[in-house]
A and B are shown apart, each in its own frame.
Chain A
Amino acid sequence: MTVTRPPLLPPTRAEYCVIACADAWRDNGEVLASPMGLIPSVGARLAKRTFSPDLLLTDGEAMLVGLDGTVEGWLPYRQHLTMVTGGRRHVMMGASQIDRFGNQNISCVGDWAKPKRQLLGVRGGPVNSLNNPTSYWVPKHSARVFVEKVDMVCGVGYDRAAEAGPSATRFHRIPRVVSDLGVFDFATPDHSMRLTSLHPGVTVGQVREATGFALHLPDEVPYTREPTPEELELIREVIDPKGTRNREVRE
């Protein structure tokens, strides 16, 4: 028997962001997915429910949990830090500022000695970026976030890692940056940021306008892939039925 369902509503911008984040964890194998922020969290759970079932997830505190919340392990902060330095983890952090080589700042804005705006502090940016794949999520792409030079390097970018030597570059990798406008990586000869896909409805001009440095632009920029019907149903009905994603990124 076939069940006829009404056609799905087209994907929202937030839903393109969700699958762009989920794809960060594609083919990662049996590692801890550490999403920070709402849309990366939906993305990590989507990845685990579909193409990356071996991912480990936490409850946001000290428990490793399955998709239904079943506790499968214990991960207090001190063991979490070993997961980081052991490399079996892919974190997606936020960024108050990020530059063309992937240096990221969440510490403070202005002069560090007497900041104009004190933010969180370096947190685990230094240890994350040198030890396990570190991606970034920016819900509101603007020239205030995508800056020429960050005020305090917390997460280490490609140029700074190279300057610091082989111990810094050995495990350093920034797989992708996802924003509400598109997806970016550093797969260029000098590891400067490249636009890899635009979310449908966004133009290259818009991205350029909202970026405070010259992005590497391929001759033809593809659009972010379409979510599959299964992915859309999982996002809308199972993972985020209240639609909180659409409050983090609006159309």
Chain B
Amino acid sequence: MSDKTMSAEEAVGRLENGMTLGIGGWGSRRKPMALVRALLRTDVTDLTVVSYGGPDVGLLAAAGRIRKLVTAFVTLDSIPLEPHYRAARERGAFALMEVDEAMFMWGLHAAANRLPFLPVRAGLGSDVMRVNPGLRTVTSPYDDAEAFVAMPALRLDAALVHMNRADRLGNGQYLGPDPYFDDLFCEAADAAYVSCERMVDTADLTKEAAPQTLLLKRSSVTGVVETPGGAHFTSCVPDHDRDEAFQKLYATTPYAEFTERFLGGGEQDYQLAVQNWKKEQGQ
């Protein structure tokens, strides 16, 4: 069995301009931020990003890497509105496929199951149909003859997700309260890159945690990257909570200034800059 470990640079080095890229997590929760930061250090652009959006979308939007966004929302959770996403939207910086949270989930399910669409009641009557003129409906062939939205598969060229633990083969484990939809992102993608707080031996995955925490199967994972603090500043419980103070800094600092101080170097430079900022704050 193959060892799939790689660096964050190697993982994002496989991404290309114009790809459709799924990003796991939810809002400001367990986002693969180290992989997003690595992506920002490349020249890869013109992306179609598929995400339950948080600061991953904010950073990529501010950096001008998004051609089209597929989402139901973009939020920082404790700060309801994502400032960089808002600014990008208000200047019309990219195309948007805005769908409902459930439609989004069924789009991933359809892709993971190699179906062209799945029927969903959500969307009917709403302006999701107006702003996505390509959406079609489908009528039940049974006696009810109900009409539903035919949510198209959200097939991905690549997916980026962040786990609490993983082994070198690509088996991924979440230890927090919610798996979000990270397994679906991986299964919907041609290639999935998984970062993790800690790489462990396969046997250690189930030593202290129940087997149902094993969310990702190695058959749907292409590469594994060990990135301690790799979800920072989003939450990654039980390893760490959201860094609320730093998130507030992110949300209130002009993008160029934030980039210069925190995103100028590699991941180690980022983590060091964060530590230095915390020291300044007396934390």
* A-to-B contact residues, CB < 8 Å: 61-63, 74, 76-78, 81, 84-85, 107-108, 112-127, 129-131, 152-156, 160-161, 163-168, 170-172
Contact = CB atoms under 8 A, between A and B. Distances in A.
A147 to B, nearest CB: 14
Contact of B101 (A76, A123, A129): A123
User: What 3 A-B pairs are tightest by C-beta distance, nearest first?
Assistant: A121-B73, A127-B122, A164-B125
Interface of B: 26, 53, 71-75, 80-81, 85-86, 89-92, 98-103, 105, 120-128, 130-131, 146-148, 177-181
Given A61-B177, A76-B177, A119-B81, A81 B147 contact: no
A4 B196 CA distance: 61
A167 B99 contact: no
B181 A153 contact: no
Contact of A120 (B73, B105, B122): B73
Most buried by B among A78, A113, A171: A78
Contacts of B121: 85, 127, 130-131, 167-168, 171
B26 A77 contact: yes
A152 to B, nearest CB: 5
A166 B102 CA distance: 20
Nearest to B71: A121
Contact of A154 (B71, B126, B178): B126
A77 B72 CA distance: 14
A83 B148 CA distance: 19
Given A81-B101, A126-B126, A167 B146 contact: yes
Nearest to A153: B127
B86 A122 contact: no
A163 B180 CA distance: 34
Most buried by A among B75, B130, B178: B178
Contacts of B125: 126, 129-130, 153, 156, 160-161, 163-164, 168, 172
Contacts of A156: 124-126
A116 B101 contact: no
A139 to B, nearest CB: 14
A127 B80 CA distance: 20
B238 to A, nearest CB: 13
A193 B177 CA distance: 40
B128 A165 contact: no
Nearest to B148: A167
Contact of B72 (A61, A113, A123, A172): A123
A67 to B, nearest CB: 19
B177 A114 contact: no
